[in-house]
A and B are shown apart, each in its own frame.
Chain A
Amino acid sequence: MVKRVEATNDFVVKFANVNGSGSASANELFARAILRMGVPVSPRNIFPSNIQGLPTWYEVRVNENGYQGRRGGVDLMVAMNPQTWDADLKEIEAGGYVFYDNTKPLPKSKFRDDVNVIGMPLTDICNATYNDPRQRQLFKNIIYVGALSALLEVDPVEIERLFSEQYKGKEALLQSNVKALRLGREYAREHLKCPLGLRVKRANGVGHKIFIDGNSAAALGAVYGGATVCAWYPITPSSSLAEAFIRHCQKYCADPASGKNRFAIVQAEDELASIGIVIGAGWNGARAFTATSGPGISLMTEFIGLAYFAEIPVVIIDVQRGGPSTGMPTRTQQSDLLSCAYASHGDTKHVLLFPEDPTECFEFTAKAFDLADRLQTPVFVMTDLDIGMNTRLCEPLQWDDARVYDRGKVMRYEELEAGKDFGRYLDIDGDGIAYRTYPGTHPKRGAYFTRGTTKDRYARYSEAGPDYVDNMQRLARKFETAKTLVPKPLLYPAERPARFGAIFYGSTSPAMQEALDVLAERGIHVNALRVRGFPFQDEIADFVASHPWVFVVEQNRDAQLKTLLVNEAKVNPTRLLSVLHYDGTPVTARFIVDQIAQHAAARMVVPLKKVAS
């Protein structure tokens, strides 16, 4: 008798499919139906750099507690891809389940004796029901969703309701999908042992939360933040951000009177042109942004340096992926921190924001435009593939209608006309930020010539050393001002006094929250601090100083945040212990727990001296 994993509202289902087979929408349907039952899910696409034919996976974690990090391990594998069968089977937890198409029998050697096998002749059923090969393929996916609904006790009413929302007004499609769903469900109820040890039970874990991907949310943040110019170049995983911006703009940003666009979007010839267009628009007073990924950042660096020195507001959304170079396009990492923080030649430092989920993608992107205008500098929103391209359950997006855009220090016609002194690089109040003018403001005053470093406070050409130093010191002051404006770190205190601290950021957040709970259950109490922006505020250095050891949890090889903390927050590097995950998959709570527990065990040993005394 094979052991059975028994779990209600707490398990992982992984779908192994072939790219381009139409499985993605069926799998998302499955996830949404569970969500409609009030049970949180966190799905993740694990997909190849390919359009058709290569393996692709969709992993759904069902967790009533709302843990949304990748758990690691699989309880039920829906193995629909013979290419990856062996590897997929290996991933299943002992006592777990494999669901597969048994139209063609597989030898016993292809199975594991500690995994429960559920075979269903999906191909036979499709061939008997449909004549059109495309339909056979597409409805096979819906049929297995029907079978899973019986096996896992997912309410079919919820699935049918989702169909009716999706196919509103398309009666034929609606009927054929419902038919396929019922076909699968009926077969399972008649021929398979239902339910499995894994079950979904109605709960109240979803509430008012929304289900959205980070790229759509960031794109909407750009709309709410007043972006009117977007220039971009297609690159995974950021393309869907620009495409979502196009959709949002078409919906929200047409001029009601003329029907014309209150936005300009250019798909540029490359990232060099994208950032150039954004800089030109920012220089001329429009809010402008680009979305890209690591290789795009590399290409943009010359221009980013110019924007830093010429002090032009620019928003860059970096949806990070595996690097370096053009590697791992469909895998996630947090590996562009250093290249963004110091992008370009000469002495440059840039403002970075680290959203943890789609909600913060929205908030931080909108805020980035205020920051860029206020600080007259490039601002990076550092998201990643895990947040950007996966649908996540998160807090609803919020906007205060009283909010006014902060356009920063812009000298207008009236002030120029009144004779106010205008020096483009003249700091009049000590915050390092000077007034700028938009081209065309005043016939006689306020025009200036924009160039890189060779200038004095009044934007006159100067190659004099003291002028250069004066300007560079002002830029450093400006960066100090940025500290007061970027989002502050958030503290998650342990329930008991803790010797250990942990610093984390971005998409590590859900796995980290879960890891902290698991560690606490094991008696390892950790105070955690989520860094949300760069430059670092004093709170971060204070946090490090108040713990003998601080784990820095990141998804890159070289401990990039740690490097930045040592460099910029001047924290003591000997206190910092890195926990690094960088194989391209999202970090799991299990990984963090294992790493921290090992470190902790090594440091919990009571010193010999103490034992002796």
Chain B
Amino acid sequence: MTYIAKPKLHHPELPKNKVGYTRRDYEGKISTLCAGCGHDSISAAIVQACWTLDIEPHRVAKLSGIGCSSKTTDYFLGNSHGFNSVHGRMPSVLTGANLANRDLIYMGVSGDGDSASIGLGQFAHCMRRGVNMVYIVENNGVYGLTKGQFSATADKGSKSKRGVVNNDEPVDMIGLALMLGATFVARSFSGDKAQLVPLIKAAIEHKGAAFLDVLSPCVAFNNHPGSTKSYDYVREHNEAVNRLDVITGRDEITVDYEPGTVTAVTQHDGSVLRMRKLSADYDATDRVKVMNYLQQHAAAGEVVTGLLYVDPDSADLHEHIHTIETPLNQLTERELCPGAVALEKFNASLR
């Protein structure tokens, strides 16, 4: 971490987005994580994504569990409400928050310790329900705050900093998300901002449960030879299936693409995801094929990244349970209380 706070003063010509905010307005407190931590790059990517999507910071609620990754919600979007809840339980708290006010954007930030062990159940059910959220797992295969124990996503055969070999099979969160009905599934790398920022933007625009597994090396405990979550290892084995541009309804399409190299997926709300294919046989809208592809490539030792799966006709929990458009937290006794006359009728039916 750095002890030197950035000056509050903005350069007067710092560019503003369409809602009048500079990039700096999306920053949070100074990170207390280790210098070089992958998580800080992810925070920066979130800042960049929100700024370029012209989202007003206060319209985002950021929620997390416990761990290094969960601390990061304090280090971006300082003008948003944040909630550091209990270990592994961000999904339920976020679900409740989302039910109370469907108008905000919900950003759930978690880690592999938080989501793949104690939180595995809540992660699963949150995906199943289709809670409209961005679920980011900052995945480093290790417990940082408690100093270097393996997490449940550590690959079998990988080595800890002290040389211990992990004997357990890893929890495949991407595979689980696909099985459980997540309608947006992506994997990226904290060291590849060019890939990560558009994925976060697309996840925000997506309606439903959007899951992002971001490999985010731990410089203190899991960045050594023998680790499969180090900067070197991930760079060497990264196999990106596509490069993404997100075009919201508001933007004009300005980029020219070579014919045949781009697939456009129009989502329910009109936003368009343009994927530049890097792998010729990859179809990100076919869930079964995606699952097969991922399994085959994982068996070959490759870390497949990119927008892995998207369901353009996704729905969210509110649609499933038919809640009204007005956020529930804005309703008052006028709308909610059936009143004395109805109660007297109810009483009469019980005599």
Answer yes or no: do A and B interact. Answer: yes
Interface residues of chain A, those whose CB is within 8 Å of chain B, are 206, 208-212, 220, 223-224, 226, 228-229, 231, 252-253, 255, 258, 260-266, 268-270, 272-286, 288, 302-303, 306, 310, 396-401, 403-405, 437-444, 447-452, 461
In B321-351, the 8 Å CB interface with A consists of 321-325, 328-329, 331-333, 335-340, 342-344, 346-347, 350-351
A-B contact pairs, 6 of them (CB 8 A): A211-B351, A261-B322, A273-B121, A279-B85, A280-B93, A447-B58
Q: State which residues 261-293 of B face A: CB under 8 Å.
A: none
A281/B96 contact (C-beta < 8 A), A212-B350, A260-B325, A276-B85 known:
yes
Known: A228-B336, A303-B86, A441-B58. A266 touches B323 (CB 8 A): no
Q: Name the B residues within 8 Å of A268 (CB-CB).
A: 92, 125
Besides A255-B324, A281-B100, 15 other A-B contacts (C-beta < 8 A): A208-B347, A211-B350, A212-B350, A223-B338, A226-B331, A252-B338, A255-B335, A264-B318, A266-B321, A273-B89, A281-B97, A283-B83, A397-B347, A399-B343, A448-B82
Report yes or no: B84 in contact with A451, Cβ–Cβ below 8 A: yes
Which B117-144 residues have C-beta < 8 A from chain A? Answer: 121-122, 124-125, 129
Q: Min CB distance, B170 to chain A, in Å?
A: 23
Q: Does B95 contact A (CB under 8 A)?
A: yes
Contact assessment for B328 and A262 in the assembled complex, using a CB-CB cutoff below 8 Å: yes
Query: Would you call B96 and A447 a contact (CB within 8 A)?
Result: no
Instruction: Tell me, yes or no, whether B63 is within 8 Å of chain A by CB.
Output: yes
Q: How far is the CB of A40 from chain B (nearest CB, A)?
A: 12
Tell me the bound Cα distance from A229 to B74 in angstroms.
27
Chain A CB within 8 A of B99 CB:
yes
Cα–Cα, bound, A438→B121 (Å)? 28
Q: How far is the CA of A225 from the CA of B262 in the complex (A)?
A: 54
Q: Which residue of A281, A399, A442, A451 contacts B58 across the interface (Cβ within 8 Å)?
A: A442
Contact (Cβ within 8 A) B332 A439:
no
Q: Say yes or no: A440 contacts B350, CB within 8 Å.
A: no
Closest to A314 in B: B96
Asked, given contacts A281-B97, A439-B81, A440-B104, whether A286 binds B338 with beta carbons under 8 Å apart, the answer is no
Note all chain A residues with C-beta closer than 8 A to B63: 280
Contact indicator A283/B333 (Cβ below 8 Å): no
Looking at the assembled complex, report how far the CB atom of B143 sits from the nearest CB atom of chain A, in whole angstroms.
Answer: 19
Q: Given the complex of chains A and B, what is the CA–CA distance between A442 and B29 in angstroms?
A: 19
Q: Would A440 and B81 count as touching, CB distance under 8 A?
A: yes
Q: Is B79 an interface residue (CB 8 A)?
A: yes
B178 to chain A, nearest CB (A): 19
A281 CA to B125 CA in the complex, in Å?
A: 17
Question: B101 and A210: CB pair below 8 A?
Answer: no
Contacts of B339 in A (CB 8 A): 399, 401
Considering the chains assembled together, what is the distance between the CA atoms of A357 and B2 in angstroms?
60
- Which of A252, A276, A404 is close to B122, meaning CB atoms less than 8 Å apart? A276
Whether B329 lies near A285 (C-beta < 8 A) is: yes
Q: In the bound complex, do residue A280 and residue B340 qualify as a contact, i.e. CB atoms below 8 Å apart?
A: no
B59 within 8 A of A: yes
Nearest opposing residue in chain A for B343, CB measure: A399
- Which of A303, A397, A437, A448 makes the CB contact (< 8 A) with B343? A397
What CA separation (Å) do A181 and B86 show in the bound complex?
Answer: 59
Contact across chains for A269 and B89 when beta carbons are under 8 A apart: no
Beta-carbon contacts under 8 Å, B53-84 to A: 56-59, 61, 63, 73-74, 78-84
Chain A positions within 8 Å of B151 at CB level? none
Residue of B nearest to A269 (CB): B125
Report A-chain residues with C-beta under 8 Å of the C-beta of B335.
255, 262
Mark out the residues of chain B between 299 and 331 whose CB falls within 8 Å of any chain A CB in the assembled complex. Answer: 317-318, 321-325, 328-329, 331
Q: Which of B83, B84, B125, B322 contacts A273 (CB 8 A)?
A: B125
Beyond A286-B99, A397-B346, A440-B101, is A449–B324 a contact (Cβ under 8 Å)?
no
A224, A260, A266, A447: the one within 8 Å of B81 (CB):
A447
Distance in angstroms from A166 CB to nearest chain B CB is: 12
Any A CB within 8 A of the CB of B98: yes
**Which of A220, A226, A277, A442 has the most chain B CB atoms inside 10 A of its CB?**
A277
Contact of A440 among B103, B318, B351 (CB under 8 A): B103
A401 touches B61 (CB 8 A): no
The reply to whether A443 and B57 contact each other, CB–CB distance below 8 Å, is: yes
State A258–B78 Cα separation when bound (angstroms). Answer: 37
Contact B85 A277 (CB under 8 A): no
The interface residues of chain A lying within 8 Å CB-to-CB of B196 are none
Are B328's CB and A228's CB within 8 A?
yes
B94 within 8 A of A: yes
Q: By the criterion CB–CB under 8 Å, are A276 and B59 in contact? A: no
Of A273, A396, A442, A444, most B-chain CB atoms within 10 Å: A273
Report whether B85 and A306 are in contact in the complex, using a CB–CB cutoff of 8 Å. Answer: yes
> Closest chain B residue to A362 by CB distance?
B343
Known contacts A284-B329, A439-B104; A272/B95 CB under 8 A: no
Of A272, A278, A397, A442, the residue contacting B96 (CB under 8 A) is A278
Within 8 Å CB of B329, what residues of A?
Answer: 228, 281, 284-286, 438
* Nearest-Cβ distance from residue B320 to partner chain A, whole angstroms: 10
Q: How far is the CA of A252 from the CA of B121 in the complex (A)?
A: 33
Specify which chain A residues have a CB less than 8 angstroms from the CB of B317 in the assembled complex: 266
Residues on A with C-beta less than 8 A from B104 are 284, 439-440
Q: Are A266 and B336 in contact (CB under 8 A)?
A: no
- Residues of A near B351 (CB, < 8 A) are 206, 208-211
When A405-B332, A443-B58 are in contact, do A210 and B347 touch as well, CB less than 8 Å?
yes
Give 9 nearest A-B pairs by CB, closest first.
A280-B96, A276-B92, A286-B100, A439-B81, A285-B329, A284-B100, A277-B96, A281-B96, A280-B93
